[in-house]
Each structure stands twice: as C-alpha cells, then as structure tokens.
Amino acid sequence: MTDLHLGQHISRQFNEELEDVRSKVLYMGGLVEEQLANALKVLVNDEVELARDVINADSAVNSLEVDIDEECTRIVARRQPAATDLRLVMTVSKTINDLERIGDEAKRVAKMSRKDMDGALRDDVRTDLEFMGSLVRDMLRQVLDAFARTDVDTAILVVKSDKKVDKRYKKVVKKLIKQMGKDPDTIPGTLNIMWAARSLERLADRCQNIAEHVIYMVLGMDVRHIRLDDILAEIEAQSELEQEE
C-alpha cells in the first residue's frame, strides 16, 4: 500500500474536490457490485424478479459516469493537477468507464432466464457459472478496495484472478460446444448460456483493467498489455530503487 499524500494541498477546496470524486467512484462501484450480485442470481438461481432491478440500476450508473467525468474535466481545467493528483484524476476517468461497462455486462447476464436457455443449462455448467460468478464478484470487490486504499498488492491479486476466470470460461465453452453437438435441439438455449459466460469473462477483464489503473495511480507505471511476471518484476525493481534512495 502506498500513500498518495492526498488531502495535503494548500487549497482545502482542492482537497475536497479530489475526495469527492474518489467517494463518487466508490459509490458507483457499490451500485455495480449490487447489479452483478443480482444478475448472477438471475442467471444461476432463476430469480428472474431481480432482472428488473439490474436493468433499472443501469441508468443510475450511467448518470454517475457522466457526472464524475464532468467533475474530472473541471478539476483538470481549474486546478491543472500534476504528478499524483493528475494520475488520480486520470485513473478515476478510466475506472468509471470500466465500471459502466461492467454494469452493461451485468445487465446482459440478467436478461438471461431459464426460458432463454430453453432447458439447456445443465447442473455441471451451472456449477461452472457459479464458480465464475464468485470469482468475478471477488475481483470487483477487491479492485474497489484496492482503489479505496491505493493498494498495489490487492490490485495484483485481481490481475492474477483474471487467469482463473479465463481458464474456467474455456472449460465452459468446450462443454457447451460438445453439448450442442450431441443435442442440436438445445443449440438456441446453449448459445444464450455461452453469451452469458462470455459476459462474465468480460467482467473479469474490466476488473483487471481497473487493477492496472490502480497500479498506474500509485506507482506511475503503465502496465497495460504487459505479462503478469513482467509487471511483478517492474514493481520489484522500482521498489528496490526507492529503498536505495
């Protein structure tokens, strides 16, 4: 965990503006967490009455994205932030975009019901989807915590978890392809299940994106499109340099 020294500006109003956007991001994250939790209940437990809640929450999430983005623009225009302050504002702007996309994917998952799956959701696949959903929920919770606490270690855990989701997604796709080959009548429902699984995989990717934004915010390192081992090596090298100084 790294201290960004927020709240130490000469202008108290500037401090309040930065804290306000951070708080709004976490509030937006809480709404998206609830969307995801309800969407998974619709998908796995057939609690279809929750689908409407997920869909209705989307407008609130979208409004927050616009509001926070406008606030970030005002801060840049009026305060001309530099160094860690600028990285915070940039991270907020990128993070809210990913959160909005997570909400969109949750809405897609929520629109799936047993009717859409037409009896194609078998117990073993439902177990895989439950596992994927649990991993993604943990990733979202952890990455919001990493953002709130400027915690690089937790952000790295999120990046690692994405590999687990990818592995389970590939397993699900193989099962569903095999299922369609054996029973062509289930193809329409099976394709819907495949799209739901794809949305969960994309949700994990968005969480990884936010984790990478957090690493950039804290360390000033752009780790996008870099292998995990290389990310860890770069962080270790930077830590050694800071200790020498």
Coil vs helix vs strand at 112: coil
pLDDT for 135 beyond 50: yes
Q: Is 7 domain-assigned?
A: no
C-alpha–C-alpha distance, residues 146 and 151, integer Å: 5
Q: Tens of pLDDT along 25-82?
A: 999 999 999 999 999 999 988 898 999 999 999 999 999 999 999 999 999 999 888 8
pLDDT at 239 over 90: no
In whole angstroms, give the CA distance from residue 108 to residue 86.
Answer: 34
- Is the Cβ–Cβ distance between 206 and 139 less than 8 Å? no
129 pLDDT above the threshold of 80: yes
Cβ neighbours of residue 206 closer than 8 Å, sequence gap 6 or more? 98, 99, 101, 102, 105
Computed over every residue of the chain, the mean pLDDT equals 89
CATH of the domain at 117: 1.20.58.220
The pLDDT, as a whole number, for residue 114 is 63
Domain count, the chain: 1
Residue 200 lies in a domain: yes
pTM: 0.89
In a domain? residue 4: no
Tokens of 182: 């054996």
Residue 160 forms part of a structural domain: yes
Nearest to 120, CA basis, from 48, 186, 192, 197: 186
Look at residue 96 and give its three-state secondary structure. helix
Higher pLDDT, 213 or 114: 213
**85-100 burial: b if 16+ Cβ within 10 Å, else e:** bbbbbbbbbbbbbbbb
Give the pair of three-digit tokens for residue 187. 């193809």
| Residue 5 counted as domain residue | no
The answer as to whether 1 is a domain residue is: no
Tell me the pLDDT tens digit for each residue of 216-237: 999 988 888 888 777 777 777 7
Residue range(s) defining the domain that contains residue 142: 12-244
CA distances from 195 to 14, 116, 123, 190 (A): 44, 11, 18, 9
User: Is residue 36 situated within a structural domain?
Assistant: yes
In a domain, 3, yes or no: no
